[in-house]
Amino acid sequence: MSAEQESIFIGIEIEEPAASDPELARKLEEVCPVSIFEATDSGTEIIASRLDECVLCGLCVEAAPAGAVTIVKKYEG
């Protein structure tokens, strides 16, 4: 199972086992400048209502193990 949320412009996927890692969840919550991630005891919750606020900074991708977090742009440009 993976955590996945999509919005109009951006989709974010977090693959297991990273999605259920509370330590990684806290790190993602800390690094995201627009508060897309919320740390829970069971891992990362993606706040769907904030997805389109993503500034594509890549901090979440850098904070996670390689290939664990994917940001999908649903538009060109």
pLDDT of 76 reads 73
DSSP secondary structure letter of residue 18 = G
Which H or E run includes 72?
Answer: strand 69-73
| Beta bridge partner(s), residue 69 | 14
Biggest CA–CA distance in the chain, Å, is 37
| pLDDT tens string 4-21 | 555 678 889 999 999 999
User: In the structure, what pLDDT confidence band is assigned to residue 1 with cuts at 50, 70 and 90?
Assistant: very low
Task: Set out the domains of the chain in order of their start, with CATH numbers.
Answer: 3-73 (3.30.70.20)
Query: How far does CA 71 lie from the centroid of its chain?
Result: 7
